[in-house]
Amino acid sequence: MEFSGLDAQAARAFAERWLPTWTGNDPLRLVFFYSEDAVYSDPAIPDGIRGHEALVDYFTRLLARNPQWVWTHRGSIPLVDGFLNLWHASIPVGTDRVEVDGVCTVQMRGGLIYANHVYFDCTELIHRTMQAQKRQA
């Protein structure tokens, strides 16, 4: 049986092109990295979404709310068809920043992501967001 996961160097090279597209507010640039039939999930949509139309819709709302967050690659573990991406996110919340570490599966075919599932503890992010909203009210 041949393993077809990405080694650390290939995973880092892909992540260094892909993760910066999560910063800013350009969902079409981000969706460019996903296949037409891609499946995506994160803590806000644990059942996931499928396909470019759903991805553009979700990424449009998500990036508009978080245009200045920054995602960086911390390392990887090879998976079949891709890698487990260990990441760090620095997320502005009001006048503060929340620093979050997490992982996501990145499975690819033809150079595009066909499955991306994001996992992290969002407790601190939710708490800080609620505090910022109370201060604005």
At 136 the three-state DSSP class reads helix
State the alpha helices, DSSP H only, in 19-69: 27-31, 52-65
Instruction: Tell me the per-residue pLDDT of 61-108, one tens digit each, with 9 for 90 and over.
Output: 999 999 999 999 999 999 999 999 999 999 999 888 999 999 999 999
Residue 3 within any structural domain of the chain: no
What is the C-alpha to C-alpha distance for residues 26 and 85, in angstroms, rounded to an integer? 22
Task: Give residue 126's pLDDT band: very low, low, confident or very high (50, 70, 90).
Answer: confident
What is the C-alpha to C-alpha distance for residues 94 and 15, in angstroms, rounded to an integer? 27
Residue 90 contacts residue 12 (beta carbons within 8 Å) = no
Residue 68 within any structural domain of the chain: yes
Looking at the 3D structure of the chain, how many domains does it have? Answer: 1
Q: Which domain holds residue 17?
A: 8-136
Whether residue 133 is predicted with pLDDT greater than 80 in this model: the reply is no
Residue 59 within any structural domain of the chain: yes
Residue 12 within any structural domain of the chain: yes
Predicted TM-score (pTM) of this structure: 0.91
Residue 1 within any structural domain of the chain: no
Residue 65 contacts residue 49 (beta carbons within 8 Å) = no
Residue 2 within any structural domain of the chain: no
Give the CATH number for residue 95.
3.10.450.50
- pLDDT on residue 94: 83
Residue 40 contacts residue 105 (beta carbons within 8 Å) = no
